[in-house]
Chain A
């Protein structure tokens, strides 16, 4: 591997690590605000207890999210100085706004986590709600910046110089809306399913535990509302990508030849020399139908683009399929859960459904990771789509293997430590008396 590949690997690894904490940082405050709101309305201590338990876990996730996010803001310059030099004036704005949102998040997080005994219950709930809102705003701003890299707007490139800069037009680029919507929902779906899995796991052992039933209920409400919406937003995103980045769409679908009535290919092994995808499941006219809602429409294939503008077809296609498959499984589960609730007003208590939920816990995050692989790898070889190539943006620094290995080791260590600490907390939760008075557990 050369320095360029190490730079890309370090960026990818940093993003893949941070996105988990960022998504939980958007999702957990929502769950906590719902739980605390339920407590304020019903005065049942189980909700307060639940909220305090979640808050303890979330504190760890927030801290790791904050520091790994800091690393990213520096890495933009440390690894891609030439990108920032040109893009900073155009797209720095959403990063600055994200800075403000992050500020608000950190402030109210402090009040929320450490202010249980220092502020009134309503102010406390409000701080939690503000953490949730500012978390969502930070996500929106950062994804806006990514959308700009995929669908640049708000400037003119003349002889390597960026002119006529309009940061507002850059933020409102054509990819912003669908990317922001898809990522925000993804954070809620992934958090909902992960939390539901943890509590479903404990309910398998102790079906009547009030604490875990309350927790499962809240997590499933979020998951069941957001997952169907996410399927719709996925459809919106795919059609937007077909319009804005046809090469990326063709790579996602492993679609080599331009044709009318194009089939949808699921799985298979894309073959760049023969321009075929072998062993794939073919749904006739599926791709044309999904992209244009017209089964006979013509869909542009990779053959229309010069080879040096192709992303890595296999990685993009397989990642896309994994994301869609994860989403489909989660959608089926939410249908089961929702119909059980609508027909019988019951939370899942059958062993098979609880097992299914427990097993589906990581799927949301699998979908987020593979989805970002599609977005980022699918944009290659460009860092700013159609404007600047990734290798033009990289730092002249040599020996990038050193920071790459160092940060990889540190992040692996952190991931293990976080898993270890959260597991210890879950086990404490499991042994806790179901509806003990709130706060006693923290003593």
Chain B
């Protein structure tokens, strides 16, 4: 029971990480892809939107990791062994993205060094989402086999399959869409700029449909247990709600109802990850490592749940305050 509570906390942290941190990576992608007469202004708005919150958003990932290794130490060890290569690539992206973002912000403006920081920042922003998607995909493939805590299938299993790679591309598209949608709200004082982000949001939102289809089709071969999970009773409900949110987001973008679009995009991403979590349950690494067989002793789990309760009481109001200050107030 306790292990399920911890697993739910991990899933929730992943959802919030995708909604917050994922959008920050998406912002980095749009920074690299900025073009047109307002390219410079696009980059500035992205930087302003990300700057005060990206470190706090990043901590959700740390939370996922520490909950994983405290609550499910065997699962963590297996994941980190089998997926050593994509994880390392993701870390490189995280290091370079974060540091070049801050270097650029505090360096002298508008010289060639500045532009170079900007390029590294943009390129590095593509790494973490892609490899995070690949990792989540790989865990579901069933290709990673673990026996008595030993990974039997080496370091290439799972993550190089078409399904896992498609998951990586899907994560890229999803975060790009999310970021562009948020940015339409962040740029509300500049209609032309807002239009730039609106178009980006529409295009990336539309592009998600064929990628999602590829993920779904490859899952039959590539992640049979997960595919099977998606045929359970709750799946049609969840899938249709996800589609509804996606449609609402696109229509709202088309009609320039940007706050509605943002809410719908949040709903869409949340349901996608919750759906993934439900289809993956009870496996951590399909099929050998599960929530129950990888769990830490009860005493540890109980303490962890208590700590999470207290942590949430202290941190959630603080986090709400941070967002209220930088996202809630009218600028002026």
Kindly provide the distance from the CB of B309 to the nearest chain A CB, expressed in whole angstroms: 11
Tally of contact residues, B, Cβ under 8 A: 63
Tell me whether B77 and A84 are in contact (CB under 8 A): yes
Select A103's contact among B63, B88, B99, beta carbons within 8 Å.
B63
Question: Which 10 interchain pairs have the tightest Cβ spacing?
Answer: A92-B70, A88-B73, A77-B80, A89-B296, A63-B102, A85-B77, A114-B52, A81-B77, A67-B98, A106-B55
The reply on B96 being an interface residue by CB < 8 A is: yes
| Chain A minimum-CB-distance residue to B299 | A165
Quick check: which of B35-43, B277-285, B319-327 contacts chain A, the rest being far away?
Answer: B319-327
Q: Which residues of B contact A103 (CB under 8 A)?
A: 56, 59, 62-63, 311, 315, 319
Interface string of A74-91 (1 = CB under 8 A from B): 101110011011111110
The reply on A438 being an interface residue by CB < 8 A is: no
Tell me whether A166 and B299 are in contact (CB under 8 A): yes
Select B314's contact among A88, A96, A100, beta carbons within 8 Å.
A100
Most buried by A among B103, B149, B319: B103
The reply on A417 being an interface residue by CB < 8 A is: yes
Select A104's contact among B92, B95, B304, B315, beta carbons within 8 Å.
B315
The reply on A351 being an interface residue by CB < 8 A is: no
Select B55's contact among A56, A63, A424, beta carbons within 8 Å.
A63
Tell me whether A106 and B151 are in contact (CB under 8 A): no
Tell me whether B62 and A73 are in contact (CB under 8 A): yes
| Chain A minimum-CB-distance residue to B308 | A96
Kindly provide the distance from the CB of A414 to the nearest chain B CB, expressed in whole angstroms: 6
The reply on A410 being an interface residue by CB < 8 A is: yes
Q: Which residues of A contact B304 (CB under 8 A)?
A: 92-93, 96
Q: Which residues of A contact B209 (CB under 8 A)?
A: none
Interface string of A329-348 (1 = CB under 8 A from B): 00000000000000000000
Tell me whether A78 and B87 are in contact (CB under 8 A): yes
The A contact surface, by secondary structure, is helix
* In the bound complex, CA of A64 to CA of B97 (Å): 10
Tell me whether A85 and B59 are in contact (CB under 8 A): no
Q: Which residues of B contact A84 (CB under 8 A)?
A: 69, 73, 76-77, 80
* In the bound complex, CA of A115 to CA of B325 (Å): 8
Tell me whether B53 and A110 are in contact (CB under 8 A): yes
The reply on A439 being an interface residue by CB < 8 A is: no
Q: Which residues of B contact A108 (CB under 8 A)?
A: 318
Q: Which residues of A contact B73 (CB under 8 A)?
A: 84-89, 92
Tell me whether A60 and B297 are in contact (CB under 8 A): no
Binding site for B on A (CB under 8 A): 56, 59-60, 62-64, 66-71, 73-74, 76-78, 81-82, 84-90, 92-93, 95-100, 102-104, 106-111, 113-115, 118-119, 165-168, 395-398, 403, 406-407, 410, 414, 417, 421, 424-425
Tell me whether A118 and B326 are in contact (CB under 8 A): yes
Kindly provide the distance from the CB of B106 to the nearest chain A CB, expressed in whole angstroms: 6
Interface string of B40-59 (1 = CB under 8 A from A): 00000000000111011011
The reply on B293 being an interface residue by CB < 8 A is: no
Q: Which residues of B contact A397 (CB under 8 A)?
A: 81, 84, 155
Select B321's contact among A90, A106, A111, A166, beta carbons within 8 Å.
A111
Select A99's contact among B56, B62, B303, B322, beta carbons within 8 Å.
B62
Report if A97-B307 is in contact (Cβ < 8 Å); known contacts: A64-B99, A64-B102. Answer: yes
Tell me whether B80 and A421 are in contact (CB under 8 A): no
Question: Can you list 21 A-B contacts with CB-CB less than 8 angstroms, sorted by A residue number?
Answer: A62-B55, A64-B102, A66-B58, A67-B58, A70-B94, A73-B66, A76-B69, A81-B81, A92-B71, A93-B303, A96-B66, A98-B66, A102-B62, A103-B62, A104-B318, A106-B56, A110-B53, A110-B326, A114-B51, A165-B300, A424-B108
The reply on B74 being an interface residue by CB < 8 A is: yes
Tell me whether A113 and B77 are in contact (CB under 8 A): no
Tell me whether A421 and B79 are in contact (CB under 8 A): no
Q: Which residues of B contact A111 (CB under 8 A)?
A: 52, 321-322, 325
The reply on B101 being an interface residue by CB < 8 A is: yes
Kindly provide the distance from the CB of B21 to the nearest chain A CB, expressed in whole angstroms: 11
Tell me whether A96 and B77 are in contact (CB under 8 A): no
The reply on B202 being an interface residue by CB < 8 A is: no
| Chain B minimum-CB-distance residue to A168 | B303
Contacting residues of chain B (13-33) with chain A, CB-CB under 8 angstroms: none
The reply on B67 being an interface residue by CB < 8 A is: yes
The reply on B199 being an interface residue by CB < 8 A is: no
Kindly provide the distance from the CB of B52 to the nearest chain A CB, expressed in whole angstroms: 4
* In the bound complex, CA of A84 to CA of B325 (Å): 39
The reply on B214 being an interface residue by CB < 8 A is: no
Contacting residues of chain B (269-310) with chain A, CB-CB under 8 angstroms: 296-297, 299-300, 303-304, 307
